[in-house]
Each structure stands twice: as C-alpha cells, then as structure tokens.
Chains A and B, each alone.
Chain A
Amino acid sequence: AQKVTQAQTEISVVEKEDVTLDCVYETRDTTYYLFWYKQPPSGELVFLIRRNSFDEQNEISGRYSWNFQKSTSSFNFTITASQVVDSAVYFCALSEAGTGNQFYFGTGTSLTVIP
C-alpha cells in the first residue's frame, strides 16, 4: 500500500492564482515526520519544509503555507499568488521514527504556472 498519496498528478494554474497541493499519508507510528520537496525543471530536489507529528500548527513561509491535519492524515501545501518560478514537481514524503530507515515519497504533483 502506498504510504504517501499525491492524487493530483498534474495541475495548471494562471499566474497569481492560489493553488493547493494535496498529500495524504498512512502510518501506524505515533511519531513521524513529513516533508515537502520541490523539483524544478533543472532536476535537483530542494527541501521545503519538515513537520513532526506532534506539531499541528500551520506553517507559513512567504507565499508558501502548509496545513497539517492528523485527523485526516493530510499535509497539504498551498502556494499563494503563484508565479512562473513555482512551476515544478512537488513531492511529499514521510519518515517514521519507529520502524525503517527511509523516506517514503509520493509520486509527485507537477505544477505548471501559466503566465
């Protein structure tokens, strides 16, 4: 079973629109960590945010914000006033503290911001 599900394969928005990328995870651990990464067209993977399972406070960083809801096992990512430079593939990932030693990645959401 997929531990991290990103149901949106591709999203297109017009510049300045807001967009939310969904991430749903599955774990039995009570302690776990969630991450978002950005992969621009150049191909490298850029770390965006880390959140632990005990901190449900929403996080805002400039135009980026993250909504973590344990009740729905979701860790969604919103870009406000999107820009062309936001065009990239975005990956959500899960790391479990209790078992295993790996990061589980979703299949990614490809975001295209149209000027």
Chain B
Amino acid sequence: NAGVTQTPKFRVLKTGQSMTLLCAQDMNHEYMYWYRQDPGMGLRLIHYSVGEGTTAKGEVPDGYNVSRLKKQNFLLGLESAAPSQTSVYFCASSSGRRTEAFFGQGTRLTVV
C-alpha cells in the first residue's frame, strides 16, 4: 500500500538553484495537487491537475512549474529557488472534488 510517495524527503538548495520534486500515486486518481505548508498559514495550493496532461494554477503558483505527463506522476519544479520557497511541500491525490485527498509524507525544502 504505497499510496502517495514523494521524492526526496529532504533537500537543501542554494539560492538560484533549480530542482524537481516527484510525486507518484498508485491509486489511479485523476486529481493531483501540490501544497506548501508554512507556520501559521495552513496548506496553500500551488498547482493542481485534474487529469493526465492537464495542469492549473492554485493560490500561490509563482516561482513553480508542474507537469503531469503520466497519470500516476505529478512533478513540481522550482526554476530558480529563493529563500521564500523554504517550506514543507505536500503532494496529494484524490479521485475527485467530492472525495478525500490522500497525502504524501512531505518534502522539507530549505533554500539558503
């Protein structure tokens, strides 16, 4: 029962570096999401996808890009990391708006 798996779990980047976070789900879910969690701010949606080949912006998309080339995978890219992107990133998937989302274990990213 893998569910939602995020890679990596921890990462330290220097300002200006780029990286890609990988999210994989094995539940055949159509919807996938990337959230960031910051102290006192709950979870804020970065980007989401309602199916293979589709992506859409969420609440805080600036500085991030995403791709969903395969149904089971949702990639989050940081083009030029900034200290403001230091956060815990969560990927989630669901079968639709009406059902609960299942979350990965999170990726703790520090940008120095």
Which A residues have a C-beta under 8 Å from some C-beta of B?
6, 9, 33, 35, 37, 43-45, 47, 50, 52, 91, 95-97, 100-103, 105-108
Contact = CB atoms under 8 A, between A and B. Distances in A.
A17 B43 CA distance: 29
A97 to B, nearest CB: 6
A50 B100 contact: yes
Contact of B33 (A33, A37, A103, A106): A103
Contacts of B45: 102-103
Interface in B15-74: 31, 33, 35, 40-45, 48, 50, 56, 58-59
A78 B88 CA distance: 28
Q: How large, as a class, is the contact surface on chain B? A: 20 to 34
B27 to A, nearest CB: 13
Given A43-B88, A43-B105, A45-B90, A105 B42 contact: yes
Contacts of A35: 100-101
A107 B41 contact: yes
A95 B97 contact: yes
A24 to B, nearest CB: 14
